[in-house]
């Protein structure tokens, strides 16, 4: 049986490493690919369609390198990824993992996670499977991610 392909799109190294370690605990049948920006996520999805997308919401346009800014930071870069793959008729279950409890729209109006969840579900019903609040000091995100992965059939608590 082939390994499950998961694409983790996360630009912050500590958060990405934390999620990688957590996933490796639950299954050796996961092949994890990494992307750090909107463009690298789209390139990776175009190259090989993942079975599951774990997507940060706030992303730079391009990968950040030495002496580079990564382009315009996108507070809703994750939505841009979802819109692009929708336009390309790619269906990939997606779980958003964000460290923010709210986002500011361009007009400065905050959007809480519960409202963002509703908006993502309405705009991307074939892709969106959930949104999780990541906090490195509280393990609640791990429980939520594990429950979501179980619901998607990605892992079983019996695996470890």
pLDDT band at 65 (very low <50, low <70, confident <90, very high): low
Tell the CATH superfamily of the 4-151 domain: Response regulator (3.40.50.2300)
> What is the end-to-end Cα distance of the chain in Å, rounded?
18
Domain range summary for the chain, segments of one domain joined by +: 4-151
- pLDDT (0 to 100) of residue 53: 96
Residue 146 pLDDT more than 50?
yes
pTM over 0.85: yes
The larger pLDDT score, comparing residue 156 to residue 116, is at 116
Cβ atoms of residues 78 and 33 within 8 Å: no
Cβ atoms of residues 143 and 133 within 8 Å: no
State mean pLDDT over 55-74. 70
State mean pLDDT over 138-147. 89
- pLDDT (0 to 100) of residue 71: 57
């Amino acid at each position: 049986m082939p390994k499950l392909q998961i694409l983790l799109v996360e630009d912050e190294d500590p958060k990405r490493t934390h999620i990688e370690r957590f996933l490796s605990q639950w299954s050796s049948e996961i092949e994890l690919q990494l992307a750090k920006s909107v463009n690298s996520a789209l390139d990776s999805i175009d190259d090989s369609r993942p079975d599951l997308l774990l997507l940060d919401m706030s992303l730079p346009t391009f990968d950040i390198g030495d002496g580079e800014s990564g382009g315009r930071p996108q507070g809703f870069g994750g939505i841009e990824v979802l819109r692009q793959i929708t336009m390309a008729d790619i269906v990939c279950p997606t779980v958003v993992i964000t460290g923010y409890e709210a986002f500011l729209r361009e007009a400065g109006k905050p959007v809480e996670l519960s409202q963002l969840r509703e908006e993502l579900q309405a705009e991307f019903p074939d892709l969106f499977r959930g949104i999780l609040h990541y906090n490195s000091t509280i393990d609640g995100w791990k429980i939520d991610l594990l429950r979501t992965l179980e619901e998607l059939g990605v892992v079983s608590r019996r695996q470890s």
